[in-house]
Amino acid sequence: MIAGQATDKGETPMTEETTSTSELKGTGYELFIAALSVLSIVNIVLLYALRDDDLRTVLFVMNGVLSAIFLVDFLYRLLTAPSKSRYFFREFGWADLLASLPFEQAKVLRVFRLFRVARLMRTYGAKNIARSLVKDRAGSALFMLLLMGLLVIEFGSLVMLRFEQGTGNIENASDAIWYTIVTISTVGYGDHFPVTTSGRVLGSIILVLGVGIFGAFTGYLANLFLSPKKPAPAVADDPGRRLAELKELVARQQAAVDELEGFIGRF
């Protein structure tokens, strides 16, 4: 894109740097979406590699969750884009929309998300990325926790189902997903539980990860709602404004003196 070239009819010119900055929705958020895009592509490969119907069902459920997240991401980018037509037609917004639909043929379009994130990050620069992640540690940690939660639910369910199939307890995709969710949330209803040694080891790992994820998430919420508000930044001292305030103060004092002298003069 040529710097200063008009984007659409009636719109103000935008440079490449300005466009990239407006596309970037936050370093932690962009990395989160990129990681989910990689996960969705891995799931497509696993769908063709696995032959067990229950394992494939777990992948179908997780792909449905990812599709919902990508649809929300598309709407968010569309609503916050400086030029909606430019985002949709020139910045592959149409590919984002199609990739968020629950159709296997369209999911390969999620590769476009990886290309866009890579381009944005390259334009933004490694130093700026690191500085942004450090500056917004809480937000970056939140996206990391969400990603870890999705990874534990998906791969925990897949591996647990592989370990426990045929034992009479965790037999299908519904059992595996339910067990993983109640375990990672540290609820543990006890209606489904692993009986093999490998399953119990995996269950222990899921439980420990769940305690860490929800503990960190609770700390994030506590910091968000209970931390005191940051003081407003000090306004730079303006000599002209200060002089005007002093003149107004002197005028008020002179008016008060004149009124007092007039009052005394009556007596």
Q: Is the pLDDT of residue 21 over 60?
A: no
Q: Is the pLDDT of residue 146 over 60?
A: yes
- Residue whose pair of structure tokens reads 């009479």 in the numeric block: 168
Q: For 201-216, how does the pLDDT look when each residue is reduced to its tens digit (9 = 90+)?
A: 999 999 999 988 888 8
Q: For 27-63, how does the pLDDT look when each residue is reduced to its tens digit (9 = 90+)?
A: 788 888 889 988 988 998 898 898 889 999 999 999 9
Sign (positive or negative) of CA dihedral 153, 156, 161, 162: positive
Q: For 71-85, how does the pLDDT look when each residue is reduced to its tens digit (9 = 90+)?
A: 999 999 888 888 888
CB atoms within 10 A of CB 201: 12
Q: Which tokens hold the place of 115?
A: 């290309």
* Spatial contact of 59 and 46, defined as CB atoms under 8 Å apart: yes
CATH topology classification for 137-228: Helix Hairpins (1.10.287)
Q: Which residues contact 23 (CB under 8 A, 6 or more apart)?
A: 77, 81, 87, 91, 116, 120
- Report percent pLDDT > 70 for the chain: 83
* Spatial contact of 73 and 87, defined as CB atoms under 8 Å apart: no
Question: Which pLDDT belongs to residue 239?
Answer: 72
- Report percent pLDDT > 90 for the chain: 24
Q: Is the pLDDT of residue 2 over 50?
A: no
| Segment 186-195 mean pLDDT | 84
Question: Which pLDDT belongs to residue 182?
Answer: 92
Q: Is the pLDDT of residue 90 over 50?
A: yes
Q: For 231-241, how does the pLDDT look when each residue is reduced to its tens digit (9 = 90+)?
A: 555 555 567 77
Amino acid at 80: T
Band (pLDDT 50/70/90 cuts) for residue 200 is: very high
Domain ranges of the chain: 1-135, 137-228
* Spatial contact of 132 and 88, defined as CB atoms under 8 Å apart: no
Q: For 156-166, how does the pLDDT look when each residue is reduced to its tens digit (9 = 90+)?
A: 999 999 999 88
Question: Which pLDDT belongs to residue 224?
Answer: 72
- Residue whose pair of structure tokens reads 């303006």 in the numeric block: 238
Q: For 115-144, how does the pLDDT look when each residue is reduced to its tens digit (9 = 90+)?
A: 777 777 777 777 777 787 778 777 788 888
Mean pLDDT for the chain overall: 79
Question: Which pLDDT belongs to residue 230?
Answer: 60
Q: For 244-257, how does the pLDDT look when each residue is reduced to its tens digit (9 = 90+)?
A: 778 788 887 777 77
